[in-house]
Structure formats: C-alpha cells, structure tokens
C-alpha cells in the first residue's frame, strides 16, 4: 500500500530504450515501431543504440539522422568508428553520444543532457566494457563516477547504456550505479536477457536490451554465412539481413522525475514486416 501511494504521489514519467539497431532493415523497423511504442508506454523520450545501423558495422550521419526522426538520442558502442567518415561527421550530431571511456582525443561526447518534454532534463551516458572488449578503453567504472560528478544537481534523471560483452561486468555496473542513476541498459550481445528489474536503491536494470534486426538471423546476419563461419572457420562475409520479419527489442522505464528513481521496467519485443 505504501509503495502504491508513493507511486501515485510522485511525478511519474516514462522513457524507452531500444537495443542495437542492425542495418537498413533495423532502422526501418525502428522508424515504423518506435512511434507506436511511445504511444503504448506513454513515453516522450527514447534512446536508441545505433552502433550497427550503417550496413551492420558502425554509424553514419545519415543513419543517425534517420533514427533521430523518431528517437531523442542515439548511442554508440565498440563499432562507433567502423565507418571511416564518422569521426568527422559526429561533430555535427548534437544528439549522438559515443562511449565516454574512449580517449578524450576522440571526437564527439560521451555524455549529453537532453530535454524530456514535460519533465525537465535527462542525462544520457554511453560506456563500453573492457572484459573481452577493447583494451584501449578506459575503466568504465572510474569514467562514469567522474561523469556523474559533473551533472548539474537540477538533472535528476540519468540513463546509462553500458555496451559490454560480459554479463558479469554489466551486472556489476548495475549494482555500482544503483541509486545513482535512473536506469542501466546493457547492450552489445543482441539477445534480450530475462533479468529486467528495479534494483534495491531505485535503478532500473537489464543485462541486455536485445536488438532491432531481422528475426530469422544470427544477431542480424544471414544464417547460412554465420553457419559457414562457425563450421568451416575460413574468413567470409556476414551479410546483414535487410528484408523479412524484423524484431524491435527494448525496455520501457517508469520513473519519478523529481528524484530520478525508477519505479518499473518493462522489457518488450515487437515485430514488423520490412
């Protein structure tokens, strides 16, 4: 009863996070379904991980702008710089957030503060893991601590996209940030995990949000090519599936924008023919 009363008294707002977007088909699925998801969850703010949106490897300015027609913020990951023009293009994209624990010499920003219609501001932080990932990245735990100290006190809502391979590292980050941020969304593995929860001190958490890509695929790639890779082992191309039934995976979070505390997290998967 007390929890229900507290939720009623707070200023409850909602946001949506979508997992890794893969290729043109993934972008099309997001642009078709995200407006419907915003209506379904009464959410005015959406963050999308777009790091595989350019032909399955990295980002481009045009891909980011396409996603920003329906989302408020796009985040990156370990493939952020795969497209050779993107280090130059990112400087013109003020709603694109690349991993904060890349070198400070990299272009772009690892954190942004954005307007949430009707509820003030939301800080969005992008991080990459180190376990089985890029050795050159700085410690994500130290980096996020430093960034949190730089967020103005007026900003209560903070979203973290932790793009990492190891589930242990992602879960550790969730507990490390519990009570300090509104939500920690794991990305990178493209398969949605079944552990969405609100942690004890009020941070919504999921180990992996999933992907926005072809349902009949291996992480968005053509199944025969992936099977050839695993069974034969010779180098080969792994084409992105761009047509057919596409899935859009993610999670919606309800939170008190006066405190930044999460109240509920709801994972979802929706499907559309492309």
Rounded CA-CA distance 162/76 in Å is 10
Residue 79 annotated in active site: yes
Q: Which of 79, 163, 188, 257 is catalytic?
A: 79
**DSSP bridge partners of 240:** 221
Shortest CA distance to 245 belongs to which of 28, 19, 64, 36? 28
> Which token pair is 103?
């070198």
Q: Within its chain, how far is the Cα of 205 from the centroid?
A: 12
- Cα 174-126-141 angle, rounded to 5 deg: 50
DSSP letter string, 94-132:
TTEE--TTS-TTSSS-SEEEEEPTTS-EEEEEEEE-TTT
Q: Which residue has the tokens 């989302």?
A: 71
Which residues does the annotation mark as catalytic? 79
């Amino acid at each position: 009863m007390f929890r229900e009363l507290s939720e009623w008294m707070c200023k409850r707002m909602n946001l949506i996070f979508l997992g890794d977007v893969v290729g043109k088909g993934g972008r099309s699925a997001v642009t078709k379904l995200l407006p419907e998801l915003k209506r379904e969850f009464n959410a005015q703010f959406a963050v999308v991980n777009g790091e595989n949106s350019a032909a399955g490897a990295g980002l481009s300015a045009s891909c980011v702008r396409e996603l920003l027609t329906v989302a408020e913020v796009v985040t990156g990951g370990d493939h952020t710089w795969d497209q050779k023009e993107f280090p130059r293009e990112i400087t013109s994209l003020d709603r694109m957030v690349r991993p904060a624990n890349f070198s400070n010499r990299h272009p772009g920003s690892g954190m942004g503060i954005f307007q949430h219609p009707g509820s003030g501001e939301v800080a969005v932080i992008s991080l990459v893991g180190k376990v089985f990932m890029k050795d050159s990245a700085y410690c994500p735990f130290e980096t996020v601590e430093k960034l949190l100290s730089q967020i103005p006190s007026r900003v209560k809502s903070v979203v973290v996209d932790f793009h990492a391979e190891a589930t242990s590292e992602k879960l550790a980050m969730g507990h490390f940030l519990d009570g300090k941020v509104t939500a920690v969304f794991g990305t990178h593995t493209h398969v949605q995990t079944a552990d969405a929860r609100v942690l004890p001190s009020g941070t919504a958490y999921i180990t992996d949000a999933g992907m926005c890509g072809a349902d009949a695929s291996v992480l968005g790639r053509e199944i025969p090519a992936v099977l050839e890779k695993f069974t034969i082992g010779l180098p080969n191309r792994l084409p992105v599936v761009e047509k057919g039934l596409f899935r859009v995976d993610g999670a919606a979070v309800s939170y008190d924008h006066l405190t930044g505390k999460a109240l509920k997290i709801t994972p979802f998967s929706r499907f559309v023919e492309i």
